[in-house]
Amino acid sequence: MSYRQARYDEPLIFELLGGNDFCPVCDDKVRIPEEMVRQDLCLPDIPEREVVRHYINLSQMNFGVDNGMYPLGSCTMKYNPKYADLLSSLSTVTSVHPYQDEESVQGALQLMRDLEKALCIISGMDAVTLQPAAGAHGEFTGMLIAKAYHAANNQQRDEVIVPDSAHGTNPASAAMAGFTVIEVPSGPDGCIDLEAVKAALSERTAAVMVTNPNTLGLFEKDIADLARLVHSYGALLYYDGANLNAIMGITTPGAMHFDIVHFNLHKTFATPHGGGGPGAGPVGVRMYLEPYLPVPRIISEDGKYRFDYDRKESIGKVRSLYGNFGVLVRAYAYILEQGGDGLKDVSQRAVLNSNYLKSRVVPTYEMPFAQLRKHEFVISAKKLAKEKGVHATDIAKGLLDKGFMTPTIYFPSLVEEALMIEPTETESKETLDRYAQALIDIASADPEQLRTAPHNTAISRVDEVYAAKELILSWRIYQRKKGPGSP
Amino acid sequence: MVLDRRMLEALGIDDVDQLFSDVPDEVRIDGLPLPTGKSEMEVIIKVRDMLAQNTTVEQVPSFLGGGIYNHFIPSAVKAIAGRSEFLTSYTPYQAEISQGMLQALFEYQSMMSELTAMDVVNSSNYDGATALGEAATMCHRISPKSAFMVPSAMNWEKRSVLKNYIDGVGMSVIEYCYDPYTGGMDMDDVRSKMTSDVCGIYAEVPNLFGIIDPNVTKLKKEFPEVPLVVGVNPLSLALVRPPGEYGADIVIGEGQPLGISMSFGGPLLGIFACRSEHVRKMPGRLIGMTKDHDGRRAFCMTLQTREQHIRRSKATSNICSNEALMAVTASAYLGIVGAKGLRSLARLNMKNAKLLMDRLDPLDGFMAPMFDGAHFNEFVVRTPLHPVKLNKLLLRHGIIGGMPMHTHVPRMTEHMLMTATELTTMKDIDKLVIALQEVTQ
């Protein structure tokens, strides 16, 4: 199947012309201190119709899961069911103010409490907070909890250990919480090297952050030993939930002896990612860490739900209000629809799809480390790069030309020319076959054609160097810099 | 759903469990003890019925604000933000196939830069409170000192979030007082607390009391070396002088008033802007204008070397997922209302707040406003009953009252923040006045 994306020379909204037709108009005088009065405001004044056409044209130059397969590794871009959109757009969601009296928001509180309980079951944890706005925000919350826990036990622990295969957010979140980050190399099998972790552990270790399955798609087989080791040093074991889609109903972070977990509702629980967000990153903990969770907690008494702010050991708040409620509604509906049986089925199908697709593209592409994968796998374009000068980027751009989103590329860094593929459970065998064929065709395609790809997208290959050099980050800057040869 | 046998056969296995042979028995569980799955129809009915227990501001008048506002959202905004090409896409790492989102985000950055009169705006933080936290640590990167000055009268949630964000870099907070008459900053208190250890000062316009405080324009003049962070309500900037014109280094704010539903407090939109000279110290994603290899205008993510996926523990922030769709929503909103519409809406907000104020002040036991500064769309009113109790009584009359102040400013035990927007009608105000007369008798 050939692919061609819309290619409009859509002007910037500032460059559109026409009169503003928005009502109402109000010219009444209002009281503003003289030195605080605004003189001019440069925003476009154009008719609604033109604004709508502008954005519809832009949307047609964008690619989402609803356009086609989106196997970005570690991002779990599965199909987003439409009933979830419908429910999150009900006025009983959108038109509720967060500071309303608890009596008037019982439905919202019940939904959040029920979602907390479901996430406890899915993760094997004892308590969950829904407050964090994203996965990395959940990690940060988890690190603050670890810090509070050790401080309450009069322990001076200022180090966090992460494997070199971890997502970049792990070390960044730990550092933001004030920890010194120690990265340990993976073992020769791509899994955590227990000896390396042991060498890094000490009475200064606050936590060890682990993703399981890891970013190579490998299940950390020594996880129980690792947990015992980490706990023997009095440190906590943190579970990065980015890859939870692989294990639901098979194991839980709780069964693997993790102490803190974050979930990415926009990955595992099918809430759409909106071009970068909103997501939601709830955090689950064991009972002994529950006192440190952010406020408020939701409690039910006599059939009524209420917020509890009176929690002395709580870390306080990590954002305003209670979480990305619109996202929570979607995830709750998804969990209801799937049920316990359905979620296990999701993981089984995700892992089957991944292993099937892997079997189709290996050995055309090399795959370092063991063969059995969970929900994602990482192949390498090292051979193609060496023999034909075709790099992971070129393969990615070639896939775009065939109407597919690319894998995650150049990550994890322990694989050269990495292509990290996560098909998710929502793709059919037919689609996986087409994707596999696209990758196979690219391996034997004209290298020159690939190095100049893509050709069928809204623009040809983008000049990132120019962007970083010129730093045209707004219309305001563009107006100043504009000259002959400007875009 | 039944597994596709064809794939199992291709892999030469007959049971999918063989693909999980690497999961040790020791950590295995036997399924999830959740109810079994439901049909779409059952799910919609169940969730809809559960949510129907909520009272909405469409059903009853509301006078709540305090950071989240009930504004009118033009229908076209929802139509645009609901486009599934935007909704179901990921972060635009692959620029060539994601030009729509990239250009929409560039336009968001551009419109927000016009509103704030700042050069650079990132493509979103989670909300206003986390944007404040990130602004404080960015001040520390600009000026590596340890104290950050904030108003004592600030939403307590922001204070709590700020503390969590600055603890990690060993910063602390110094609070300056408000003037008990104007409700603005007490400049003498600011001067007396300013030390060489201060790496940034934060002020809000409008502030917690809804006041447009002209003192904020003095800060950069008096303390030119201290990075200035200003928190804004973006709607007010239609009429109020933008922080870029009085020397702000960083501007943050809650973008929810720009066409984003309240949704019980999320998703929201953290606005984060700064001066060009600080751009490399800034958190969050940036979209830049560039060219493609054929010389056509194009957009891509830029300065990614600040970010966690490249810089890891040395990144300017851990932020990855942000609120991109909310940023697109805000720019669609600004596109539809335009400069003229935004100014009209801001005037309507101020006008309605003044009407509300004038009706509450004469009531027995009430005093509105508490402060004599100029107000935007909300103000503090003194109430004859404890505000929490008053709100419960009002709710029985089918009215959602204002925000009690004591959780934010402990000594304000008989004070409530009352808010009006363009959606507040004379009928709503009449109903409130009658109910207040009844419940306070």
CATH of the domain at B344: 3.90.1150.10
List chain A residues with CB under 8 Å of B33: 121, 340
Residues B191 and B130 in one domain: yes
In a domain, B365, yes or no: yes
Residues B279 and B406 in one domain: no
Q: How are beta strands B147-151 and B286-291 bridged, if at all?
A: unpaired
Per the CB < 8 Å rule, is B115 touching A59?
no
In a domain, B79, yes or no: yes
Residues B91 and B132 in one domain: yes
Q: Find all residues with CB under 8 Å of A481, minimum gap 6, and list them.
A: A470, A472
Q: Domain tally for chain B?
A: 2
- CB atoms < 10 A from the CB of A3, how many? 17
pLDDT, tens digit (0-9, with 9 covering 90-100), for A162-215: 999 889 999 999 999 999 999 999 999 999 999 999 999 999 999 999 999 999
Residues B370 and B388 in one domain: yes
Mean pLDDT across chain B, nearest whole number? Answer: 97
pLDDT surpassing 90 at residue B310: no
Residues B375 and B244 in one domain: no
Q: Which of B76, B95, B109 shows the shortest C-beta gap to A474?
A: B109
Residues B258 and B141 in one domain: yes
List chain A residues with CB under 8 Å of B323: 133, 274, 276-278
pLDDT of residue B1: 67
pLDDT, tens digit (0-9, with 9 covering 90-100), for B251-296: 999 999 999 999 999 999 999 999 999 999 999 999 999 999 999 9
Alpha carbon of A59: minimum distance to chain B alpha carbons (Å): 5
- Domain encompassing residue B427: 339-439
pLDDT, tens digit (0-9, with 9 covering 90-100), for B84-113: 999 999 999 999 999 999 999 999 999 999
Per the CB < 8 Å rule, is A26 touching B345?
yes
Residues B264 and B384 in one domain: no
Average pLDDT over residues B174-202: 97
In a domain, B2, yes or no: no
Per the CB < 8 Å rule, is B129 touching A320?
yes
In chain A, what percentage of residues exceed pLDDT 90? 95
List chain A residues with CB under 8 Å of B350: 30-31
pLDDT surpassing 70 at residue A319: yes
Q: How far apart are the first and last CA of chain B?
A: 63
Under the banding of pLDDT at 50, 70 and 90, the label for residue A2 is confident
pTM exceeds 0.80, yes or no: yes
Under the banding of pLDDT at 50, 70 and 90, the label for residue A24 is confident
* Domains of chain A and any CATH numbers: 83-338 (3.40.640.10), 346-464 (3.90.1150.10)
Residue B249 and residue B142: Cα distance in Å, rounded?
A: 10
Under the banding of pLDDT at 50, 70 and 90, the label for residue A33 is very high
Q: Which of A249, A325, A338 shows the shortest C-beta gap to B263?
A: A325
Q: Where is the domain boundary, B301, B333, B365? A: B333
pLDDT surpassing 80 at residue B364: yes
Under the banding of pLDDT at 50, 70 and 90, the label for residue A1 is low
Q: Which residue of A has its CA nearest to B54?
A: A105
Q: Which residue of A has its CA nearest to B305?
A: A468
Residues B354 and B309 in one domain: no
pLDDT surpassing 90 at residue B307: no
List chain A residues with CB under 8 Å of B167: 144, 177-178
pLDDT of residue B252: 98
Per the CB < 8 Å rule, is B54 touching A325?
no
Alpha carbon of B195: minimum distance to chain A alpha carbons (Å): 25
Closest by Cα among A39, A34, A11 to B339: A39
In a domain, B378, yes or no: yes
Residues B209 and B299 in one domain: yes
- Bridge partners (DSSP) of residue B299 are B289
Alpha carbon of B181: minimum distance to chain A alpha carbons (Å): 16
pLDDT surpassing 80 at residue B178: yes
In chain A, what percentage of residues exceed pLDDT 70? 100
Per the CB < 8 Å rule, is B27 touching A477?
no
List chain B residues with CB under 8 Å of A20: 338-341
In a domain, B11, yes or no: no
Residues B321 and B193 in one domain: yes
Per the CB < 8 Å rule, is A38 touching B238?
yes
Q: Where is the domain boundary, B333, B357, B376? A: B333
Q: Where is the domain boundary, B305, B333, B361? A: B333
The edge-to-edge listing of strands for the beta sheet with A408-409 is: A377-380, A418-421, A408-409
Residues B348 and B280 in one domain: no
pLDDT of residue A484: 86
Chain A to chain B Cβ contacts (< 8 Å): 687
List chain A residues with CB under 8 Å of B114: 41-43, 475-476
In a domain, B190, yes or no: yes
Average pLDDT over residues A241-266: 97
Mean pLDDT across chain A, nearest whole number? Answer: 96
In a domain, B435, yes or no: yes
Q: How far apart are the first and last CA of chain A?
A: 33
Decide if B318 contacts A172 (C-beta within 8 A).
yes
In a domain, B359, yes or no: yes
pLDDT, tens digit (0-9, with 9 covering 90-100), for A328-363: 999 999 999 999 999 999 999 999 999 999 999 998
User: How far, in Å, are A262, A350, A375, A379, A482 from residue A369 at the CA level?
Assistant: 27, 20, 15, 10, 51
Residue B24 and residue B21: Cα distance in Å, rounded?
A: 7
Q: Which residue of B has its CA nearest to A467?
A: B290
Q: What is the CATH number of the domain that holds B308?
A: 3.40.640.10
Decide if A409 contacts A393 (C-beta within 8 A).
yes
Residues B258 and B121 in one domain: yes
Per the CB < 8 Å rule, is A97 touching B324?
no
Under the banding of pLDDT at 50, 70 and 90, the label for residue A485 is confident
